[in-house]
Structure 1
Amino acid sequence: MFGISARPALVLAYFTYFGVLGIFVPYFGLFLDGRGLSSADIGLLLAIVTASRIVGPSVWALVAERSGKPLWVMRIGALLASVGWLSSFADYGFWPLLAGFALFSFFWTAILPQLEVSAFTFLNDDTQAYSRIRTAGSVGYIVLVMLGGWLFERYGSEFLPLSALLFLLLLLASLFLLPQVSVAAELTSETVSFSKFLQNSVLLRFMLAALLLQMSFAPFYGFFTLYSRDLGYSGTETGLFIGLSIAAEIAAFYFAGNLMRNRSYRLLLGICYGVTVLRWYLLATFADNVWLLCFSMLLHAGSFAIAHSCAMQFIQQFFPKKLRSRGQALYAGIIFGGGGAIGAYFSGILWQNGNGASLTFNIAALLALLATILALSLPKQKPVA
């Protein structure tokens, strides 16, 4: 009813979705710390909230699959996620925060898998076009990260509730601009079993490697802003560090389509995961050196952007059209939900209010090394089950 052409609408949807994350991910730890939570409490809350992303994507994918209306699933998810976010405005301690953010996280999982599937549908599986549109998400993230650093210095950690809510409402509005997409015809044209694909050994190795990598990201996502503060960097400097990593991500996403064309999937993932080992080692050992810290941030181009593009292409090629929504949900649930929850919980225990920061990042480097070994065991080309 309010739809515009697909590409600009997708750009706006990705921009606003990751704009919310640009406020939430880097500054959530600072927000919880400002509310008086210990690092163990922060890790536990992050773990439980993230765990809701294990079940959520599959539930919403099934709804989208049965209804054939992924756009409505995204809109409902954005609306109810906004309702859950309202809990952040009140300060009643750990459990009310946990309940509100768990509600937010569960409904938030309705959006991205369906957005990814819809994007590939609109773009006729054009990976290069997807990578360039996906850069809008990175731009949204970097803009809000930079703004968040300034807002934190000016207003403290309580800037987060209102800022994120405004972008949640912008996201909801952007989803009403997307043109309608229906997958009903594709759903009835194929009769294949999802369980058949889950038994493929290459898929299992791919998923385990991605899980380990995501676990290694947990201390960065949950505690980097606290780590930076403890090292004496200002809020603006912290925003600049994170902004540098997202600038590298934007460049990598833009060229990812060309980079992945006719190149070994195993080699690309092996390099990306190996780069992540170096990244966490540098954070563990040399984060007080501003130049090495900046260099580690630039490695985000490989450790996230190229690795994520490879993963999205794998899902799109491995699963038939009927099952892509569930494939995306499986990936989001196990990797971002399961890996993020496990990593957040143990990072909270190891962090010890900053005393265990180096140990935590060194363990993250070890997890990334195990992921690299698994990635190098994959075949050169993606299999079709």
Structure 2
Amino acid sequence: MKLSSASTLSLAYFAYFAVLGVFVPYIGLFLDGRGLNSHDIGVLLAIVTGMRIVGPSLWAALAVRRRDPIGVMRFGAVLATLGWLCSFYQGGYWPLVAGLALYSLCWTAILPQLESAAFHYLDNDTSRYSKVRTAGSVGYIVLVMLGGWWFQHTGPQMLPHSALLFLMLMLATLWLLPKYRLEPQTDAQPLRFRTLWTHSSFVKFMLGAFFMQMSFAPFYGFFTLYTRDLGYSGSDAGLLIALAVAAEIVAFFYAGRILKGRSYQKLLGLCYGLTAVRWLMVAFVADSGWLLAASMLLHAFSFAIAHSCAMQFIQQFFPQHQRSRGQALYAGLIYGGGGAVGAYVAGVAWQDGAGSTFTFVLGAGCALLSMVLALSLPKKIQPAG
């Protein structure tokens, strides 16, 4: 039976975020099970995350040059799967680092091209796109919850097998998508990176987003280890993360209404401030299941609304023909650079759990710095010129 474009795209989003639903929450537990200390875990996650600095721009440039985003996605997915196979090999630290770095670099080929393909096949219908994109959040939640249960019953080795399963589903799905060619944009002007850093609002915005991403590093790298040490089960950790993602989905659904007619500057500052509160709650009251669950609900602001405000800034700051490059710059410097620096600092500060409270307080400090930078932004976004 031939699937429609919308169904195939939904399946691709489901598989993509299902892999992340296994990888992001449980990679720390997996690496700890391999006998790595927190410093080694931090270095590995910094290298893996650092691949996201250059990856999006490299793959986007290749897709434009070849005018074949589907082919680039397929090629990247194959290489990412080959890199992932290193997680089955118990031959030392650096082979694992090399394999996961290859996986991470090539994994960045998929989502930007998948987003582009979605709008192409759905005729730029944002309503249809939002419904298709929801499949990704469903995939993430399902695998976070199943992953916690699976980990509890089988141990750390669940991660290589479960992620590989959905990587194979991703590969199969990408071959169901028909190819299309990108038309060259002859009127597009090259992005002049040097001029961007003369805009004080752009510098403040990027620094704020950078420190914000750094603040997330203890959560992404060590939260499941932290909850385990506090006596929570793998299923409990999965439910807590799923609660955060559920709050994110609801917030994304209403983000348009929330942003409409409101100051992006104040909203961004509010989101960053609530993120600081969130990390302080994780640091000091995580022994209470109810309070820890309440801190997860703040993910609606610390990610969903904050991300929506950031996207509003990118859309309005960059000229229309340069927005894709602006997105690549943002993704590389913030998610790649901020994530890599944060992962390294968190790995050093964690000290195999002895520094867990301090590490989350450090994350709260980064979020507070982001709040100050956000509130110093102009009330209206001035486009780059």
8 A contact 2:47–2:340 mirrored in 1: yes
Deviation at 1:15, TM superposition (A): 1.9
SS of the residue 2:262 aligns to? coil
Deviation at 1:117, TM superposition (A): 4.0
Question: 1:39 aligned to 2:38?
Answer: yes
Within-5 A mapping of 1:159-174? 159-174=158-173
Q: 1:291 is matched with which residue?
A: 290
8 A contact 1:128–1:258 mirrored in 2: no
Q: 1:191 is matched with which residue?
A: 189
8 A contact 2:319–2:383 mirrored in 1: no
Q: Distance in 1 between matches of 2:312 and 2:122?
A: 13
Change (3 A) 1:322 1:175: farther
Q: 1:59 is matched with which residue?
A: 58
Q: 2:4 is matched with which residue?
A: 4
8 A contact 1:114–1:325 mirrored in 2: no
8 A contact 2:191–2:325 mirrored in 1: no
Q: 2:108 is matched with which residue?
A: 109
- Aligned residue identity for 2:167: L
8 A contact 1:210–1:371 mirrored in 2: yes
Q: 1:89 is matched with which residue?
A: 88
Cα offsets for 1:211-262 (capped at 9, x unmatched): 1000000000000000000000011111111111111111112222332233
**Which structure 1 segments of 5+ residues have no match?**
none
TM-score by length of 2: 0.92
**Which structure 2 segments of 5+ residues have no match?**
none
Q: Distance in 1 between matches of 2:326 and 2:117?
A: 13
- Aligned residue identity for 2:112: P
SS of the residue 1:372 aligns to? helix
Q: Distance in 2 between matches of 1:25 and 1:136?
A: 18
SS of the residue 2:216 aligns to? helix
Deviation at 1:380, TM superposition (A): 3.0
- Aligned residue identity for 1:4: S
Within-5 A mapping of 1:110-129? 110-119=109-118
SS of the residue 2:186 aligns to? helix
SS of the residue 2:4 aligns to? coil
Change (3 A) 1:376 1:133: farther
Which has the larger displacement, 161-170 or 132-141? 132-141
Which has the larger displacement, 339-348 or 304-313? 304-313
Q: 2:22 is matched with which residue?
A: 23
Q: 1:268 is matched with which residue?
A: 267
Deviation at 1:265, TM superposition (A): 1.4
Cα offsets for 1:130-188 (capped at 9, x unmatched): 55543322211111000100110110010000100111121223333445454424x22
SS of the residue 1:36 aligns to? coil
Q: 1:251 is matched with which residue?
A: 250
Within-5 A mapping of 1:355-366? 355-366=354-365
- Aligned residue identity for 2:63: A
Cα offsets for 1:278-310 (capped at 9, x unmatched): 100100110001111000001111111122223
Q: Distance in 1 between matches of 2:132 and 2:316?
A: 19
TM-score by length of 1: 0.92
8 A contact 2:211–2:367 mirrored in 1: yes
Q: 1:306 is matched with which residue?
A: 305
Q: Distance in 2 between matches of 1:4 and 1:316?
A: 30
Which has the larger displacement, 270-279 or 115-124? 115-124
Q: Distance in 2 between matches of 1:289 and 1:190?
A: 54
- CA RMSD of the aligned region, Å? 2.1
Change (3 A) 1:123 1:183: same
SS of the residue 2:377 aligns to? coil
Cα offsets for 1:300-356 (capped at 9, x unmatched): 111111222232343344334543332222111111111111011110111011110
Q: Distance in 2 between matches of 1:325 and 1:3?
A: 29
Deviation at 1:267, TM superposition (A): 2.0
Q: Distance in 1 between matches of 2:209 and 2:174?
A: 29
Q: 1:213 is matched with which residue?
A: 212
Q: Distance in 2 between matches of 1:381 and 1:175?
A: 41
Which has the larger displacement, 97-106 or 131-140? 131-140
Q: 1:324 is matched with which residue?
A: 323
- Aligned residue identity for 1:38: N
Deviation at 1:115, TM superposition (A): 2.9
**Identity of paired residues, percent?**
62
